[in-house]
Structure 1
Amino acid sequence: MTDASTRRLRRRVREVCAAAGVPVEQRARLVLAATLLAERGPEPALSAATAVGRLSVTLETFRPVGQGERNALPLLPAAGDGTSLTWHLDAGAEPAPATAADDEAATRDEMLALVARADTIAKDQRELKHELAETNSGVLAMYVELEERDEQLQKAHAVIFRELEDALRPPPPKADAFELAVHYAPSQQDSPTGGDLYDWFVLPDGNLHITLVDAVGHGVTSTRHALTVTHAIRTLALEGHPFRDLIAQAARTLATIEPDLMATVLLARLDPATGDATFANGSHPRPVLATRGETELLFAAKAGRGIGFPDPGSHSLIHRTLTDGDLIVIYTDGLVESRKDFLEGEARLLAATRRHAGRPTAEIPDLLATEMLDVVLHTDDTVVIAVRYVAP
């Protein structure tokens, strides 16, 4: 199934859900379930029927879907094992607000709705645990059962959020003259979300833009903050704001919306025609540039301040002109802090990049992560992005 077909299916699911007033968190899970089914075969045929207070959505998948596969979907359909899958959802009295027309924007809205729902569930669970802790020993058995159910719920949420995070991590864009590859690993395998996210896209003038964000904190709140930053910078960049001002402008824009948000930010702007590369840094680890025979860390020790920090923005820009085969490595601090010594980590990364710079670009992020994280005394989310210039 093509990307266009997948987007068309998601748009149709959103339209029928919005028309019936289906809550956004149910709609988000149904969109993800339909996407997963569409990736495994031809585009499913969709039909919908509305009754009082209920919406029934049916997908014909052109292949049998067994009960085991149905149980693994983010939103459980009716029991069965044939080609027809039906979901019954709560419908509202009034249509829901219209969804964003852009597929990526609609996906982001759904992700944020699920994050908010997860925050509410987590708060309710904490309050319930507190109430149970104050009761007498006669409810101990109930408390133990709640703990088991809580663990099951966390694992289920982890699966859903990991899939949603994967959906929100954009695949490498088609950027002329640049080979792109990425490695992502959460700090804990059962951790549903993290604050390390990236965004990359081609601007109308043909230049490649890359944003790498590390939001302070853990869990769904840091994910929401990281999403907010990447979306704000993408919007400002596409509106044509100067590259030098993007971090500071995003900080000013978000100061009243998310006053508790703190994040380090690294921006790269790459010209495929000339190889010109420009970097802006807000409190983020320094990029590595590997040329023939040389490897260097870009930026001085204090290059700028991140979003939520005093005096945010990149205090200076770094410019380089790439030649054929030059390699750029950008990353989050989890890559160099695993041994609790940042400077030692930077030195090891320079050496590792020098050794692996000649390998295929697609292999480099995983090779660097494997070598750098051989000893882990401090766990953190890790993103590694490799960009190689192939001169036209």
Structure 2
Amino acid sequence: MPRKRSTDEGDELLARLGSLTAQARERAELQRSQVELAIALQRGMLPRDLPEVPGLHLAVRYAPACFGLNVGGDWYDAFTLPDGRIGLSIGDVQGHNIEAAAFMGQVRAGLRALATVTSEPGELLGRTNELLLTLGSELFATCTFMRLDPATGVLESARAGHIPYVWATADGKSGVADDEGGPPLGIQEKVDYTVTRHRLSTGGVYVLLTDGVVEGPSLSIEDGLDQVVRLAGIAAVAGLEAHALAAAVIKGAESVGHEDDAAVLVVGLDGPCVPGLDGAGVQP
């Protein structure tokens, strides 16, 4: 009889282990499905096409996070405004899940809709901020919005808590923009966002990005921005195409094992388009 009790206890233990294994498998499958759904939802909300304007070069890249559920919040956008100028936006929703991906879609759609009423960057971010506050969500978003006149190169921008963009000119100058920024969207009522005006020179580039591009386990934001500044400077001086620069910037983020989504929007004006820049030497 003692042997039978021992056998029964062993069978019960095996059954419990089998149940725990099945539960772990189910959780892993659920997590994988959630990741795939969040990525598919996010990709489906990003623009399929970019404006085609003579002399204006636009390029975008997006890379999902490398680990876990860290997907869903980053976006980029470029669209033609009612007056013929080009609206450019890039942003990042707080949170990394399906809810963040859905909220990202609301922010991007809200920006586009409100841009038909006003495309002045500061006012547009202010109105978008008020719109998000009415949604009652606990999420918030950082964002940079630019309005570019391709005919003159005049570029106006406003920033809501977002990481600064990078610029470079064909004569070898490059750096990180020092535009004054305001708080993220969806946190504080009645915010005034400062507008900064620049002129995008012939052959110059602007690189808009999210923090997943310039921050990782082995890379600080400062070092990551310096890395993008170097790449943008090389591209502008050499007359490299916007798509090559965008690819190199994303490759640099992937090379340091970024743990967050990474989105890049490159804007160039009237520069020669010469393929090249394979991302070599992008390690900090």
With the shorter chain as reference, the TM-score category is: 0.7 to 0.9
Aligned to 2:25: 148
Within 2, Cα distance between the matches of 1:163 and 1:315?
Answer: 33
Aligned to 1:80: none
Within 1, Cα distance between the matches of 2:234 and 2:120?
Answer: 36
Q: Does 1:316 align with 2:198?
A: no
8 Å Cα contact 2:253-2:262 kept in structure 1: no
Aligned residues: 254
TM-score (norm 2): 0.80
Aligned to 1:384: 264
RMSD over aligned CA atoms reads: 2.5
Deviations 1:311-362 (A, max 9, x none): 6756321211223221110000111112352222222221222123332211
Amino acid at match of 1:227: G
8 Å Cα contact 1:213-1:264 kept in structure 2: yes
Within 2, Cα distance between the matches of 1:313 and 1:345?
Answer: 29
Describe how 1:29-68 pairs up with structure 2 within 5 A: none
8 Å Cα contact 2:166-2:225 kept in structure 1: no
Aligned to 2:222: 343
Deviations 1:280-339 (A, max 9, x none): 101111111211221122234x52111133467563212112232211100001111123
8 Å Cα contact 1:281-1:313 kept in structure 2: no
Aligned to 2:255: 374
Deviations 1:124-169 (A, max 9, x none): xxxxxxxxxxxx9765423321321332344345444433432321
Aligned to 1:174: 51
Unaligned 5+ residue runs, structure 1? 1-135
Higher relative contact order (CA 8 A, sep 6+): 2
Within 1, Cα distance between the matches of 2:69 and 2:264?
Answer: 19
Q: Give the 3 Å change call, closer, same or farther, for CA 312–141 of structure 1 in structure 2.
A: farther
Within 2, Cα distance between the matches of 1:297 and 1:172?
Answer: 28
Q: Does 1:356 align with 2:241?
A: no
8 Å Cα contact 2:205-2:232 kept in structure 1: no
Within 1, Cα distance between the matches of 2:118 and 2:202?
Answer: 29
Amino acid at match of 2:52: A
Q: Give the 3 Å change call, closer, same or farther, for CA 241–315 of structure 1 in structure 2.
A: closer
Aligned to 2:42: 165
Q: Give the 3 Å change call, closer, same or farther, for CA 219–178 of structure 1 in structure 2.
A: same
Deviations 1:60-117 (A, max 9, x none): xxxxxxxxxxxxxxxxxxxxxxxxxxxxxxxxxxxxxxxxxxxxxxxxxxxxxxxxxx
Shift, 1:278, TM fit: 1.0
TM-score (norm 1): 0.59
| Local SS of the residue matching 2:240 | coil
Amino acid at match of 1:196: D
Amino acid at match of 2:224: G
Q: Percent identity?
A: 26
